[in-house]
Chains A and B, each alone.
Chain A
């Protein structure tokens, strides 16, 4: 495996492949980043991917790529999205601290003594940093696990595991304070200078903050565990009740009957129906009442209430009746007119009708025949005659043309 020769080279390579690294980091949990997708993100240049593999930035697993653990952890920790709480055992930290103090005590060369002194200061800051970071990680992870982990059993186990982490951090704080106060009293009294005093002061403050947060986190973990316990118990209870219900023995083996007798919540009641009578006063005087009445009438019309049905139709309406009206058949008259030789007026006046016809009716018939069959008749041109007729009981003269059939 190749190694980067300088920070500059490392940063250059990471900056060039930032699109790929960004995508891979976003999909780090799915563990299925295909190589062909990765190639698209490095402009299709497979050599660039191979370079990353050679330098150990990426790792190839069959056709899939993933970020190398050290880079992944680095990104997660710097961006504070790590799920693993990176805190080694209390012993490691305290041992390192004790070792450096021990070296300082034994060293006689002032220059090297100074370097051990600085190492102690750095280790103290490291412990404080690790404690603070782990506390924040712990808080975040407790919430994430409780809210996002769908499996109850795993959720419970994860929380128990986080509770153990909490114990480790707490032990580290206690142990570190013990070293400062009692364990290495000789070092802290004789080597105390401005730098160490400031470091000790800051570390104490950080540890104190972290300790208080841990108390709260512990309370939260216990609360979550209790809630899970309650939910589990509830789930179990519901299954039991359902089982007994299906077996039709629920009233036998539970106190559900007593419970039902004791409780009287309204939701178990039948839906209430309030029947209210309207006051006559308001019906007479209120404007709103009028609109209510209107809507009631409207309902009545649509058949919702009070529809009045019509009675049966009487038999007299169902009988068929006929009325006789005697009339002169105009077509027949025309045919008879064409079959004889008289002019139309004389024909109409002299015809022997079966029904009584007065002069007025005869005159109307004359006009009707003359206008209905204009093609079958001809007028004697310029010849008009006068005839006396009795119309509306008055004698009068009627001037009429002389018409013959054509």
Chain B
């Protein structure tokens, strides 16, 4: 097993490791995890983490969460806001999508709906370029987006974004309200 320490450092902070990372180093970690998944899983289980795999990404979970229900709910709700904002910005926003924070700013300025959502996204942050920067930071911190070109300031959405999409997909909505919701 290689890179156990680096992988632990990344995953234990709640970040993801993606197959299509822009960093060669991260791709190597992914390949190592992919090749010896069972071995790594058993190894990290010893220190209380469960290595989970998805469609092109790995992450850690625990048997017993350290976060209480309220905190977990807040995290999920926060990401519903983010994903709703990002999909309004561009409906194709997903793995492989490339963007710059200034693209987001331009889109906000030209779209009333997006403007409204941007104003409510982060409490106290009203400046559009700050909103764009902040959402990009959030995506980058968790490993859903990575810097592609430092000079152009462009980012690419990683395969780990599938995780949050799948998470949204599996939340079941009650049949009785489905018809009430404006499409």
Interface positions of A (Cβ within 8 A of B): 150, 152, 231, 233-245, 249-257, 259-261, 263-272
Contacts and interface: CB of A to CB of B under 8 A. Distances in A.
B101 interface: no
Contacts of A267: 14-16, 59, 75, 142
Contacts of A265: 14, 52, 59-61
Interface residues of B, number: 48
B91 to A, nearest CB: 6
Residue of B11, B16, B174 with highest tally of chain A CB at under 10 A? B174
B139 interface: no
A257 B77 contact: no
Contacts of A241: 80, 84, 168, 171, 173
A244 B65 contact: no
Contacts of A237: 168-169, 171, 173
Contacts, number: 123
B81 interface: yes
Given A243-B182, A244-B173, A259-B170, A268 B165 contact: no
Interface of B: 11-16, 49, 52, 59-67, 69, 71-73, 75-77, 80-81, 83-84, 87, 91-92, 94, 142, 165, 167-174, 176-178, 181-183
Contact of A239 (B12, B75, B84): B84
B174 A268 contact: no
Given A234-B165, A241-B80, A256-B73, A266 B59 contact: yes
Given A152-B91, A234-B168, A242-B84, A266 B173 contact: no
Contacts of B67: 264, 268-270
Given A238-B84, A241-B80, A264 B170 contact: no
Q: What does DSSP make chain B's interface, helix, strand, loop or mixed?
A: mixed
Contact of B13 (A245, A249, A259, A272): A272
Contacts of A150: 92
Contacts of A266: 11-14, 49, 59-62
Contact of B172 (A233, A243, A255, A272): A255
B173 A254 contact: yes
B167 to A, nearest CB: 8
A15 B48 CA distance: 74
A109 to B, nearest CB: 64
Contact of B77 (A243, A245, A253, A271): A245
Given A150-B92, A265-B59, A266-B59, 9 more contacts: A234-B169, A235-B91, A239-B183, A240-B178, A245-B81, A259-B170, A268-B14, A269-B66, A271-B14
